[in-house]
Structure 1
Amino acid sequence: MACVEEEEDDCFVEPFFYDEASDLAMRARALEMTRREEEEKARQEEEKARKAEERRRRGLDHKRVMASIVEYDPKTKRKVYTRYSFNDFGVFDINEESPIPSMRYTKRYVHGLKLQDTANILSVKIVSSDKGFPINVYGTIIARDSIHHKCMYLFNRTGDNCQPIKSMDENLILTGPGRGLVLLDFIYLEIDLKIKLGEEPLGEQISKGLLMIDGRVLPRDKKVAVAHQMLESWFSIVEVRYATLLNAAESTFEIKLLEGRFYGKIMAGIEGIEPRIVIYNSDEDGVMSCEDRAVITLRRRVMTLRLNGMLTFGFAVPGGGAVATRQWNVEFTPRHRGEDKKDISCGTAKLQVKVFWSMLDYRPYIL
């Protein structure tokens, strides 16, 4: 039988000691956790409101741009799209120029890079004018290709730098694109041309609209095809003539005047496609002399072509009087990359033609 002392020992309980510092620390942690939860909730609410405002802004920007590119055409008597419309204009800047240059892969080999389907814009002309001829034309023609649909100017003149057009047979002087046009799905052409009326500060719209070159339906059995499209709008009909090429590379050219003085025309083209494009005309672009081994400022300096084609340059110098115009030609065989150059004597002038070859890429970044 247990004694009373043993029972008292078994029932002994240590007294409770209150740790104030530990309790305060625990309370502080709880308060900090609550504060963080409230801050996170506020941050989430703020982010939700920011995203809602961003969606609202993007929606308004998109509607504003879409409203600006749909106009009533008095010639066709209907509303038409005058610019590229297949994007989210809340994030896409419709006026941003393409930063991608030519010669992206002239000096680099990239494994897996393939030849691309392309298009060359051969000519643009006003074949019919309700305002008659002659007319003084200014405005813009913009191309957007399959890389990222940003602007590349083919024609860009202000009202104080009009091109006089004397007849329906005269081409607009194109100065672009600055690189080869890649044709995976569509190339979009935005035409916005005005005519200057005397000394009036504001010109009159003569052509405005959108054309599309559809790369999805290119005949695969025809490697090079020449076609044209008509834009009937406002007070004119504009013809765009172009060539589509399957599996093509890019050529960028430069012409230097080494000796003498060049007076005449320089044409560039692809074998089998006529007429060639005038890339320099001394009557309109100024006569070049050989001071400082001058690089001639060309109207256009980029073309795409197939590797089994031929890039040709023609030089025409007027003979004067009864003497016929003298002509010289130089040809280049395309390559995947690299550069070639040839010298040519045209009367008293000696010139050097240099061509830079490059593969094209449908991606907007350099590999």
Structure 2
Amino acid sequence: MGGRVGKWGVAMGIEGDGEARPGSPVRRVATGEGEAVGGGEANARSPRRRGVKVKRALRRKPLPPRGEKQRPASPARSSAPAEEEYSHREEDAITRSRRIWERRWAGRYGAFDNETSIGPMRYTFKPLTPEYLFTEQTVQIFSIRVRAPTDGLRWPLHVHGHIATRDSMDQNRNYLFRRTRDNCQSLTQDDPSLLLTGPSRAIVYLAPITFEVQLKVKGEGESEDEMLAFGAFYYDDGSACEHKLSICYDHKRCMLEYEVALRPRSVEATISLKVVEGSWPENHRGIVVAITSGIDEKIALLRCRDRELPIGPDGVIELSRRVVSVDLGEKLLVAVDASLSDFLARGTAVFNPVCSGMSHGVCDLGSCKIQVTVGWSLFVIVV
């Protein structure tokens, strides 16, 4: 499988045996019986001390099951595999990943399909205990795009399924994207970005993070749905702490492009919005974004493309995403945009991150005022 070279000159591709090229921040999760889907034993360690580096787990190439001889390599094929062959391979991979995860983690974290039970704002209101609460290195996800669909797939793509991470906080799914078949998202070549709904809490990077992908394209009937992307890979790149990376990961029928950044000394910011004066301009859609001063990239918290802004009876605006990682020493900017044709209405609120408690600001759009509230929290890693 061909490699991709990212913005910072890092090889992003995965070689055929499942090992990443030297310097690559991603590597395919092994599906042999001796490997776990997850970050290895490093994930189960007690809170690290300052200045102590977490060693990366060694990974072996998968071995054939005991008593079974190694099969010779299949000859190269000149044409793409049929859809039925894709499905069989994908289902086999899903089964292996589940079995390996359950052997290693089920006793501690429950079922393979469980969502993380750790929520945001865990230490927003609790007294600080410096011996256990820390700023931590986290991974900020900016966007995920679908690129270059192949093997008969054509735009638009009606996508459902999920993308999730498993990190050092626990080994359960922290969903970035999740849609049912009845609520699929239509992607076009001009706008191939998935509307992310997570993470539900910050993604902590103490050991390699697992990205898990299961995406399908909706057909006329459920039996005609086609696999778009399935896979699992580790994100493991401590060398790009203060830069944004474009990670291009090849799947069989498309490429997924992840815009991510490591935040080396971050706190968790949980954002909420509420209309406190006036009213949202009628028939105007809205965009809410967050930006940190350290990286010039927008984090879309809400994008209303074809519907009214979701405002409850109490004025609370329902955001798609609300958790952002912010380094201490940076600033967090939250911007609300209600622009439409010749009507321009934008408001911003700026915050200095703190270790705990709540911060408040106001976005004044003219027709209404929106209160922005941020809950700050540190992290504790316990087992």
TM-score, normalised by the number of residues in structure 1: 0.71
Question: CA shift at 1:111, angstroms?
Answer: 2.6
Q: Gaps spanning 5+ residues in structure 2: where? A: 1-32, 38-73, 75-79
Q: Identity of counterpart residues, as a percentage?
A: 26
For 2:331, the equivalent position in structure 1 comes to 310
User: What is the Cα deviation at residue 211 of structure 1?
Assistant: 2.4
- Distance change >3 Å, CA 145–CA 285, structure 1 → 2: farther
Which has a greater percent of strand?
1
- How far apart in 1 are the matches of 2:140 and 2:295? 11
Residue 95 (structure 1) aligns with: 113
Q: Which one-letter code corresponds to 1:237 in the other structure?
A: M
Once the two structures are superposed, residues 60-103 of structure 1 have per-residue CA deviations (whole angstroms, 9 ceiling, x without a partner) of: xx89x99xxxxx99599999956585662563522121111111
Measure how far apart 1:218 and its partner are: 1.2
Structure 1: gaps of 5 or more residues: 1-61, 67-71
Identify the match of residue 329 of structure 1 among 348, 361, 365.
348
User: How far 1:312 sits from its partner (Å)?
Assistant: 1.1
| Structure having the higher Rg | 1
Distance 1:288 1:94 in 2: 33
User: Residues 111-135 of structure 1: CA distance to partner in whole angstroms, max 9, x if unpaired?
Assistant: 3222111011111110111112111
SS in 1 for 2:261: strand
Alignment check: 8 A CA contact 2:348 2:362 kept: no
* More helix, by proportion: 1
The residue that corresponds to 2:143 in the other structure is: 123
Structure 2 CA distance for aligned equivalents of residues 209 and 150 of structure 1: 16
Distance 1:296 1:279, change over 3 A: same
Correspondent of 1:224 among 222, 235, 242: 242
TM-score using structure 2 length? 0.69
**Cα offset for 1:269?**
2.2
Find the aligned partners of 1:281 and 1:362 in 2 and give their Cα distance. 33
Q: For residues 161 and 319 of structure 2, what CA distance do their matches in structure 1 show?
A: 20
For residues 187 and 74 of structure 1, the distance between their equivalents in structure 2, rounded to whole angstroms, comes to 30
Larger displacement relative to structure 2 (348-357 or 223-232): 223-232
Residues 1:281 and 1:89: Cα distance change in structure 2 (over 3 Å): closer
Give the match's secondary structure for 1:88.
helix
Matched, 1:282 2:298: no
1:255 aligns with 2:277: no
Partners of 1:286 and 1:199 lie apart in 2 by: 30
Query: Once the two structures are superposed, what CA deviation does each residue of 1:39-73 show, in whole Å capped at 9, x if it has no partner?
Result: xxxxxxxxxxxxxxxxxxxxxxx89x99xxxxx99
TM-align CA RMSD: 2.9
Question: Which of these residues, 334, 337, 360, is aligned with residue 379 of structure 2?
Answer: 360
Report if aligned partners of 2:123, 2:377 keep a CA contact under 8 Å in 1: yes
Q: Which residue of 1 aligns with 2:287?
A: 265
The one of 158, 170, 176 equivalent to 2:192 is 170
